[in-house]
Amino acid sequence: MTDSSTSASGALTELEQQRLQRKVLIVLATGQVMGGLGVGATLALGALLVAEVSGSSALSGLAATMNTLGAAILAIPLARLAQRRGRRISLTTGALVAILGAAVIITAAVLGSLPLLLIGMGLQGAGMALNLQSRFAATDLALKKTRARDLSLIVWSTTIGSVVGPNLFEPSELLGRALGLPQFTGGFLIAMVAQILGAAVYFLGLRPDPLKLALAQGASVKNKPSPTGGFGSLRSVPAARRAVLIVALSHAVMVAVMSMTPVHLTSHGATLSLVGLTISLHVAGMYALSPVFGWLADKIGRAQTVLLGQVTFAVSLLLTFFGAENQTVVLVALILLGLGWSASTVAGSTMVTESVAVQDRPGLQGTSDLVMTLCGAAGGALAGPILAMVGFSGLGLVYLIAVIVVAVAAVRTLRAPRPAN
């Protein structure tokens, strides 16, 4: 493909493709800021609202459970919608479902209905599924030499909304009280407005649709999507299996250790301020340097960057083993945990995209998001019993097994033939 003219078949020139890609990245990043703002504004409110409506703090964990379950359930339908109708319709639909979820949550709070509240939490999981799909949308028109960087920019843009959102907790409560809404619902109203703006950005901004253009350029009439979708690609393409495994297990390690850190720190006398600082720096590690890891994945290779991420994970987990009683060491370990996740997720997600032909990518991407979300939920669920049995230091050693598995998968990828796409 040259950058001087359009081919007779109507294919985009490289210059046209780069120009469109810049527009797509701006639209996706703007939508991610809106989505992150909505998620951040309701981050702690879901658990508080469930406890308030149910009258039991023991049930507060159902908020995160239903949100994660909703994201997992919606991952493949949104990917299939993208395959049929393009990213514009898929991402807009995801935002609309998240808006519906927030509306159902507010209604449930007014009615005092726990079942309806949990349904709303599940529907709001579309926001998480939407955020995950957006990073893949950044790769549709990306050139191979900048594909990981483009994906990482969308991962990074989530940081803005996620950081600003929690600071809207108090203003959102003031807004909720002014409108006569129940306690802890103002943030969901802000989430609704943010997702409405996000839906408008996707619907109006993604013209022409990047996935439709990519499919038109990269797929011939004979190259139809796999009839078995992403799971078919997992069964038949070793590179796809390795890539999904890398993303899923890396996410499971991060969620497991991160979710148990507040429990460990508070049980050892840490203040809530220190716990908050530790988690904030961990989240900064996850997102703030993602463009650096995207650049590295483009320069030195996807699998090499995954290995860098796993080495960072290993150092983090060893620090939790040797320094579990030292709060400063734990803080450093959590920063490294976030950095390891960032490197592995950015490079691994790029590998997911590149492991199959363009017409099979949406299906595999949706399957990857499903497996990633479920593995994260499983990692977090198993972390509690493991912590009870072997302590925080032992937790790191147990999840070091997953790090070794991912490292082996990355090494096997290095030895495999490189994809041409």
Residue 273 has pLDDT above 80, yes or no: no
Which of residues 178, 196, 218 is at a domain's end? 218
- Nearest CA to 119 among 69, 84, 154, 167? 69
Domain match, 180 and 279 both = no
Residue 222 has pLDDT above 50, yes or no: no
For residues 177-187, one letter each, b for 16 or more C-beta atoms within 10 angstroms of the residue's C-beta and e for the rest, the string is eeeebbebbbb
Structural domain that includes position 120: 14-218
| 2 within domain boundaries | no
Residue 415 pLDDT grade (very low, low, confident, very high; cuts 50, 70, 90): confident
**pLDDT recorded at residue 9:** 46
**pLDDT recorded at residue 254:** 93
- Nearest CA to 252 among 369, 333, 372? 372
- Nearest CA to 379 among 243, 278, 259, 286? 259
Domain match, 80 and 163 both = yes
Residue with tokens 């983090």: 316
Distances (CA, A) of 27 to 21, 134, 209: 10, 10, 11
What CATH number is attached to the domain comprising 203? Answer: 1.20.1250.20
Domain match, 141 and 188 both = yes
Give the residue, 54 or 136, on which the prediction is more confident: 136
Which of 60-69, 156-165, 296-305, 367-376 is predicted least confidently? 156-165
Residue 186 pLDDT grade (very low, low, confident, very high; cuts 50, 70, 90): confident
Domain match, 67 and 199 both = yes
What average pLDDT does this structure show over 354-367? 92
Considering just the CA atoms, what is the radius of gyration of the chain in Å?
21
Is the pTM higher than 0.95?
A: no
- Nearest CA to 82 among 74, 94, 90? 90
Domain match, 144 and 285 both = no
Residue 421 has pLDDT above 70, yes or no: no
**CA 56, CA 188: separation in Å to the nearest integer?**
21
| 373 within domain boundaries | yes
Mean pLDDT: which of 34-38, 263-267, 329-333, 376-380 is highest? 329-333
**pLDDT recorded at residue 227:** 60
Give the residue, 210 or 16, on which the prediction is more confident: 210
Which tokens sit at 180? 């006569």
Which of 62-76, 173-187, 268-282 is predicted least confidently? 268-282
Domain match, 137 and 286 both = no
Which of residues 169, 193, 218 is at a domain's end? 218
Which of residues 186, 218, 250 is at a domain's end? 218
Residue 203 has pLDDT above 60, yes or no: yes
Residue 109 has pLDDT above 50, yes or no: yes
pLDDT exceeding 90 applies to what percent of the chain? Answer: 54
Which tokens sit at 183? 């306690």
Domain match, 67 and 214 both = yes
| 421 within domain boundaries | no
| 9 within domain boundaries | no
Domain match, 274 and 310 both = yes
Domain match, 148 and 43 both = yes
| 46 within domain boundaries | yes
List Cβ neighbours of 269 (8 Å cut-off, separation of 6 or more).
Answer: none
Residue 162 pLDDT grade (very low, low, confident, very high; cuts 50, 70, 90): low
Domain match, 235 and 194 both = no
What average pLDDT does this structure show over 209-226? 70
**pLDDT recorded at residue 392:** 87
Give the residue, 131 or 410, on which the prediction is more confident: 410
Domain match, 195 and 233 both = no
| 1 within domain boundaries | no
**pLDDT recorded at residue 6:** 42
| 6 within domain boundaries | no
Question: How many structural domains comprise the chain?
Answer: 2
Q: State the Cα angle at 345 between 331 and 256, rounded to 5°.
A: 45
Residue 4 pLDDT grade (very low, low, confident, very high; cuts 50, 70, 90): very low
- Chain-wide mean pLDDT for the chain? 87
Helix (H, G, I), strand (E, B) or coil at 211: helix
**pLDDT recorded at residue 374:** 93
**pLDDT recorded at residue 420:** 58
Distance of CA 281 to the CA centre of its chain: 18
Domain match, 198 and 72 both = yes
Q: What is the pLDDT of residues 55-82, one digit of tens each?
A: 877 777 788 788 888 999 999 999 999 9
| 7 within domain boundaries | no
**pLDDT recorded at residue 41:** 66
User: Rounded to the nearest 10 degrees, how much is the dihedral formed by the CA atoms of 39, 40, 44, 45?
Assistant: -60
**pLDDT recorded at residue 1:** 39
